[in-house]
Structure 1
């Protein structure tokens, strides 16, 4: 196998062994600098908390939780809800001493939340007011949970007439009183860095959700690995929190790495307020997923087209790229209208969770917004590799972070023809899967984490991801195709919002490439059902002309229905295929007879 170990590019020698150490370092270094900015509701007053205040709030809540506990330090604490300052306080009170932290996907239905509370054997349930009904449902069906704690009351809310329900504010006040009386059970709690500290359930895009067990050492190591690799301006950045906090990308990067860098973290009022929040908070950096970056890109392109400036922008970008190479950077000045619409301060976007279209990365870098693509997975706490100030090869996900070793399960592994499964080794690799030894043994082999992702290294030792092993299409002749590559081609077609490609078994016992296209009606160059169908079939034919015959798209459906997604906006392929298969069964037909048909409300028409 071919191996690459990430090398430190920056010096960071702080003795960080656990996540409390990260916050203590932030308090020592940044103290009264603003750690969080947020509103209770859109249009309300902006509230701020410094790093020192954040630590005080976590200490108060953690001490209050310990006073409620029959087994202090042993509670299993669920945190669920929209991104909020109280979410951060709750999760870290658990991690710093109150017990095990169990962040749960805020978009799950009540029945699945209940199932996860039972699987994890939760004893405390901390929830946002938007999850009041789910909290009531769980309370009625899981008597093992002793306390249900509401983060913040909304206008007109009252707690249920149930002694298990209480307010976070009340617990914080109780904890503060105990702290003032000298209670140090929480603040001096000895953290075991090697045992499970967080139980994070995966999104299950390719299989049922697994419980990933992460230790303090895992997550703290990932913070240090980033600090020794990625350069941003300590104490000077403002980031907006967009991705859900239960997801490890937002959790590790958007909380702990940002703490270590002294970033001011601004909670978004909601996706429809994103542009407004970027401007008012003067955001300098954002961590996001490809679909969000693609949406911002489309808005910029649409606005430029309406103003008749798109051709000028496209002509200027290569010229300005050349000028930048000789030390003359005029991008932000000449593209100031675009930058002003994004707040005027945004200079960095870190994109992870899935592959991002190289064309979009080139555009953002071309207008003066640096884009670093990264790669990671929950099982690695999660960041494995990232582009950086030292090496930003567009289309790649950069080199492994300092101290992380990546390998390609192929003797060569240095080009796409020798792509293989990506293996990872480092202190950031998980302990294993919760109560699932069989699954753990499948992925933790001889000290390596088998990621299930396929990739290769280039001559600069930058990692390129070609796809997931489980979604890879294997033909009868042994040749392979990666859906992600074909989806990128489809997504370039005007009027295509996104797509999903898969392998469909045919009557010859071989596999045909099939595609589901979601329309972006605003950008379709034609109108009318027949015209849209003919247009899409013609565009598919053009794409096929540029690919080997065995990779040709043989079957195409189109839709305006939302595709089934995770909270990080990845398509749930198996669930989306189930919808298509059910629609075919309902029509009593096969996909080969529906080329160019529409999928509407779960039916093929």
Structure 2
């Protein structure tokens, strides 16, 4: 299929001012060195709060000392402490304090069902759990069924006593214990022990427990510092959950190494308000949020009767960019103001992003840099350099690792397409208590098998085309990666969501698109309208696709697809 031409700015490569930290002890020293700079800004019940790097460092040191005292006499390698709740400075302080004490941190997804949280806690053998106020009641219920659980640590203490048989010390109480202990703070420097356990949120129905060491964590952090275009004067808005290793590494670990300020968004319904108040210069996002931001722009333009003007200005700005004329600030002042007036850069990963959105945001004066990662690689694998961008590619591998394409076949452009494999300091120690998965996770020569499929160009830039587990094998032996076709379908305005599957029928495997129409945008359309108009759009699309990739059948559904907490469709549930 012919590709559109996109024009983006390549920014001048500059020397990044950050500090190399190989372990949590060195990292905490880096944070302390930023002193009185504002580290976090957040709101609680409408009241604005701030904390400096110096204050934060003292907080985590005291908490770490308190934790060490609470688990004195225990084998540190067997002390595993979960952290669960909304993003907050105390969440991040807890994570670092656990690592500093020589224990294992277990970030947990707050959106999981309580039964899943309980199951993961049992699997990991949790010794303690730090939790936000929203879990005060439920965590005490869960805690009574776990024999390894020795301590409950609410970030803010509830008023009533702990249930019988459970020990409870609040975050503040442990900080006080640490402060009054008289012991000198000393952080763990062992880079090879298991420092973190992460449960994957698979779209194929299985979840594994990934073991990371400090070498993994800080290799990825240093690579993020080297490749993302941040500096100490940046202001970021944090919207992704902190248990998400992508947010933890790129926004928090890397961002705070620079000494920048992170403003925490308490809820997506307040995001536009936060743009105006915090005036961010950068963000780390997944494609869903980029799409949502663009939809907000379109909705506001339509409400003001300026949607046609916006469309015309976008086309004009794109055309002018080919002759080196940047009209973003003059043509899109209102759009830029809606995002606070200073937003310049967005790091985007976690799923494929429509290249047209990259171009549209470019015309607004906002650069989007795509990246690629996987939990098992801590998670960073590749990032598009800000100084040499290629829309549609996730960039070359980051400094801490190498990437290669495993055995495969050439695509229609003559590029080898196959499994993406990774080797480097960011690659996990393995899966906890899962020898079967560990046996298949690596090649014979030691490369991690990501399960993602893509190709690499002559400059080493990766393009992701799909997942090996979702590949559809046609009767003629051709392989179809559904994600590639789904990306084309995402450009059809009438389609809200689509999943491409292979249906077994009498004549063989039939390439089928299961579609959830865009009911929200077109409430006036009937099901018959959607079927007819979407069929026309698919017919037009098929003319541009190779015959073996053409959609032969359409199925429609009335509800959204079920998704993971990171908003990825659970493909295995699509029947």
Scaled by the length of structure 2, the TM-score of the pair is 0.91
Listed as ranges, the matches of 1:301-450 within 5 Å are 301-317=298-314, 319-321=316-318, 328-410=325-407, 415=413, 417-445=415-443, 446-450=445-449
Asked if 1:17 is matched to 2:22, the reply is yes
CA shift for structure 1 position 66 = 1.2
User: Could you report, residue by residue, the CA deviation over 1:110-159 in whole angstroms, capped at 9, with x for unpaired residues?
Assistant: 111111111111110111122234312321211320111111257xx545
User: Tell me, what secondary structure is at the counterpart of 1:514?
Assistant: strand
Pair 395,215 (structure 1): closer, same or farther in 2 beyond 3 Å: same
What is the root-mean-square deviation in Å for CA atoms of aligned residues? 2.3
Which residue number corresponds to residue 466 of structure 1? 465
2:102–2:188: 8 Å Cα contact kept in structure 1?
no
Equivalent of residue 194 in structure 2, options 187, 193, 196: 196
Which residue number corresponds to residue 164 of structure 1? 167
Asked if 1:142 is matched to 2:146, the reply is yes
Asked if 1:236 is matched to 2:228, the reply is no
Q: Distance in 2 between the 1:393 and 1:158 partners?
A: 57
Pair 512,326 (structure 1): closer, same or farther in 2 beyond 3 Å: closer
Q: Distance in 2 between the 1:175 and 1:133 partners?
A: 26
Unaligned runs of 5+ residues in structure 1 are 1-7, 581-605
Equivalent of residue 106 in structure 2, options 102, 106, 113: 102
User: Could you report, residue by residue, the CA deviation over 1:568-590 in whole angstroms, capped at 9, with x for unpaired residues?
Assistant: 21111113x2xx3xxxxxxxxxx
User: Could you report, residue by residue, the CA deviation over 1:417-455 in whole angstroms, capped at 9, with x for unpaired residues?
Assistant: 521111111111111111222212312221211111111
Pair 512,170 (structure 1): closer, same or farther in 2 beyond 3 Å: same
Query: How many residues of Structure 1 are paired with residues of Structure 2 in the alignment?
Result: 558
User: Tell me, what secondary structure is at the counterpart of 1:494?
Assistant: coil
1:97–1:191: 8 Å Cα contact kept in structure 2?
no
1:10–1:229: 8 Å Cα contact kept in structure 2?
no
Q: Distance in 2 between the 1:404 and 1:454 partners?
A: 18
Q: Distance in 2 between the 1:341 and 1:514 partners?
A: 40
Q: Distance in 1 between the 2:511 and 2:16 partners?
A: 49
2:31–2:57: 8 Å Cα contact kept in structure 1?
no
Is the deviation greater in 159-168 or in 130-139? 159-168
CA shift for structure 1 position 52 = 1.2
Unaligned runs of 5+ residues in structure 2 are 1-12
Q: Distance in 2 between the 1:287 and 1:92 partners?
A: 20
Listed as ranges, the matches of 1:545-560 within 5 Å are 545-560=543-558
Listed as ranges, the matches of 1:494-505 within 5 Å are 494-505=493-504
User: Could you report, residue by residue, the CA deviation over 1:377-396 in whole angstroms, capped at 9, with x for unpaired residues?
Assistant: 01111111111222111111
Which residue number corresponds to residue 69 of structure 2? 67
User: Could you report, residue by residue, the CA deviation over 1:445-493 in whole angstroms, capped at 9, with x for unpaired residues?
Assistant: 2121111111112243321111111111111111121211221222222
CA shift for structure 1 position 330 = 3.0
Which residue number corresponds to residue 218 of structure 2? 220
Which residue number corresponds to residue 481 of structure 2? 482
1:206–1:573: 8 Å Cα contact kept in structure 2?
yes
2:220–2:400: 8 Å Cα contact kept in structure 1?
no
Pair 419,100 (structure 1): closer, same or farther in 2 beyond 3 Å: same
Q: Distance in 2 between the 1:210 and 1:38 partners?
A: 33
Q: Distance in 2 between the 1:51 and 1:567 partners?
A: 31
Q: Distance in 2 between the 1:127 and 1:380 partners?
A: 26
2:205–2:570: 8 Å Cα contact kept in structure 1?
no
Scaled by the length of structure 1, the TM-score of the pair is 0.87
Q: Distance in 2 between the 1:331 and 1:496 partners?
A: 29
2:18–2:258: 8 Å Cα contact kept in structure 1?
no
